[in-house]
Amino acid sequence: MRDYVCNVVRSHRCLCIFTVLQLTLMLSMLEVKLQIDQSPELQRPLTRVYLVTQLRELAWSPLFSGFAMGAMFYGYGLLHLPSKGPFGRFFSRLRSAGLAVWQQGSPVMLVPWTMKVAQNLSLFPCHMWQCLAKDAFLEADNCLLLVFLAVVLWNYLLILAIFSLVLAVRLNLQMMGARHIENGGNHELRAYVRGINELLGFEMIVLTD
């Protein structure tokens, strides 16, 4: 079972990373709110927990994850443009330009997703501080237990967010490094790489000394 899961992850690596990014973003949008119910019929104040989210933000959330996934695609997908035909030379220049821009600016595409997750996760400490500042909050039933569970949940979401970001950055760096191959004075390797680049119409593989 473990080998099967590993093979699925390797075969659908980008899909798995998108799923992790999207799941992390959606979970960060679930805002945990603790409120005190001081109804007259209650002997003691009662702590109530609410999970609040905005459906509009959830609907737009795949755009942030999809934009972040652009950091994992060579040249933002321009490599798949046709290399033959009347526009072959134009497409070759476009692929080369797209690859150069991706090489320099692809990590920037992770910034909107990171800022959105950080903004959502920062709401919980602010709300918790406001709740603890109230005198009736600590006197309510199940207050400390619910606060502890909410803090544990927030910590798990924070760890998941860091893990997702590290995973995306690591894959991006691996794809950048895959373009560069050490020459090592191997003339056959140089000829092979030159043939691949000529076939593609641009410098896809870079030989380093």
| 79, 146: one domain | yes
| 118, 194: one domain | no
pLDDT at position 185 is 64
| 187, 133: one domain | no
| 184, 171: one domain | no
| 147, 126: one domain | yes
| 208, 164: one domain | no
What band does 140 get if pLDDT is binned at 50, 70 and 90? Answer: low
SS3 letters across the chain: CHHHHHHHHHHCHHHHHHHHHHHHHHHHCCEEEEEEECCCCCCCCEEEEEEECCHHHHHHHHHHHHHHHHHHCHHHHHHHCCCCCCCHHHHHHHHHHHHHHHHHHHHHHHHHHHHHHHHHHHHHHHHHHHHHCCHHHHHCECHHHHHHHHHHHHHHHHHHHHHHHHHHHHHHHHHHHHCEEECCCCHHHHHHHHHHHHHHCCCCCEEEC
- pLDDT at position 31 over 90: no
Stretch 29-41: mean pLDDT: 76
pTM: 0.80
| 155, 145: one domain | yes
Domain of 195? 179-209
| 21, 60: one domain | yes
**pLDDT > 70: what percent of the chain?**
84
Number of compact structural domains in the chain: 2
Highest mean pLDDT among 47-56, 85-94, 166-175: 166-175
Predicted confidence (pLDDT) per residue in 76-86, tens digit: 777 777 777 77
pLDDT at position 41 is 66
- Is residue 31 within 8 A of residue 124, CB to CB? The reply is yes
- pLDDT at position 154 over 70: yes
Stretch 107-117: mean pLDDT: 92
Q: Residues of 158-190 as b/e, b for ≥16 C-beta within 10 angstroms?
A: eebbeebbeebeebbeebbeeeebeeeeeeeee
| 184, 174: one domain | no
| 95, 189: one domain | no
